[in-house]
Structure 1
């Protein structure tokens, strides 16, 4: 099996130790507004849950910078976090960032997938940031959203953020993405290589309507988009039920 075939079969496989090491720098280049998105995600959760209240937050795909944990913990000192990621190198990197921020006692790491978590106790909120477009096909996307919904309290908020729209369908945005890399010092050949890797290695929902449909099918209601940057979007939705 080639590396590309391995990554297609297991999306976590492409986040090996070499990619984990460069992730923090590369993610901030790939997403203009990386820090703003994470800060606003924390603000949206706090505004929904109520400032100053204790909460248990599920962070799915937590590996890498742990920025969602660091931002939210800084805003809300009574929140605790369960960090889940199937890539051991990426989760190790995230927990190192958590420890550096003095948040180790407030964060529980779970190597694996959402389905590895017990069905109870249920969480007050969840985040799924930068994950969905790495999962091939709608069924895998629905599966992870359903697994998250099953572990949330009724009415609990979910922050969903990631790329949406088929990359090739938006040539101007794709070209601007390439210019973003060039702005950071990449050569023309390096830009083409990066864009080619993006086109082959991800499967984002093809529209905002597709995102909304996936959320509805998984049991989430009233998604509200609060951030956008080229192909990237971020939404807050609530688990249905009472």
Structure 2
């Protein structure tokens, strides 16, 4: 699995990292709302005023997971992991500007590089799973997170699902998001071409639920949807 995840991380070079925050908000209608809801759901699951150690997987690109959660629960502490140095540097800069350095530990690498013990009260995996090729590697990543969570701990999972080519209307609407920002038809074609070649999303929400179950999670519940994107909370099986 390490090689597959390293290959996925290689896509996020300094050039792509530099445009990530702007492009992600175009590609995902409701980007900020999804992250805000993720923090709200997680805080509801753990309880207001709780103290928690939270694992943020795929934390590069600014880690709004951390800033949003901290607004609600200032007593939480975060361990942020990402295999892309360029993306993790964006997060380092963002946390420094927001004054959140002291509540976050950054780790360049993979989840499997962390100690394999049930130490975390919660975890997030946002915008990552559809970049991992194949169901076997997806389950392995989810299972590596489960091994580091306490029994019953919640996981926030968000990312694309559905096979892009099987939903041409949604794909065309996705392209129109870029047109709204001034992209030409030729530029839209290039962007959609990269999407079609560069990701392997689960085929359906039922597939997401099966992946979670195979990795040791239960009780998945959807709380956000936007075109191909979905977000869920699930819990490590006790």
Report the count of equivalent residues.
Answer: 236
Residue of structure 2 in register with 1:221 after alignment: 218
Distance 1:109 1:222 in 2: 30
Moved over 6 A (4+): 6-9
Q: Which residue does 1:15 correspond to in 2? A: 12
In structure 2, what is the Cα distance between the partners aligned to 1:208 and 1:175? 21
Q: 1: CA distance between counterparts of 2:155 and 2:136?
A: 19
- Structure 1 residue 68 corresponds to structure 2 residue 73: no
Query: Secondary structure of 1:93's match?
Result: helix
Of 30, 33, 36, which residue of structure 1 is paired with 2:33?
A: 36
Aligned residue for 1:169? 166
SS in 2 for 1:95: helix
In the alignment, is the contact (CA less than 8 A) between 2:6 and 2:83 conserved in 1? no
Contact 1:28–1:34 (8 Å) recurs in 2: yes
CA contact (8 A) 1:7 1:13 kept: no
5+ residue gaps, structure 2: none
What is the CA distance between 1:74 and its match in structure 2? 1.1
> What residue is the counterpart of 2:42 in the other structure?
45
Query: Which whole-Å CA distance do the structure 1 matches of 2:115 and 2:161 have between them?
Result: 30
Larger displacement relative to structure 2 (110-119 or 8-17): 8-17
> CA-atom RMSD, angstroms?
1.3
Structure 1: unaligned runs, 5 residues or longer: 1-5
Is 1:81–2:111 an aligned residue pair?
A: no
Partner of 1:119: 116
Matches within 5 A, 1:82-97: 82-97=79-94
Partner of 1:240: 237
Residue 146 of structure 1: aligned partner = 143
> TM-score, normalised to structure 1's length?
0.95
Find the partner of 1:107 among 104, 113, 132.
104
Shift in CA distance, 70/109, structure 1 to aligned 2, threshold 3 Å: same
SS of 1:154 mapped into structure 2: coil
Q: CA deviation at 1:9?
A: 6.9
Relative to the length of structure 2, the TM-score reads 0.97
Q: Secondary structure at the match of 2:32?
A: helix
Q: Quote the offset at 1:65 in angstroms.
A: 1.9
Q: Any idea what SS the aligned residue of 1:127 has?
A: strand
Q: In 1, Cα distance between the equivalents of 2:117 and 2:164?
A: 38
**Aligned equivalent of 1:54:** 51
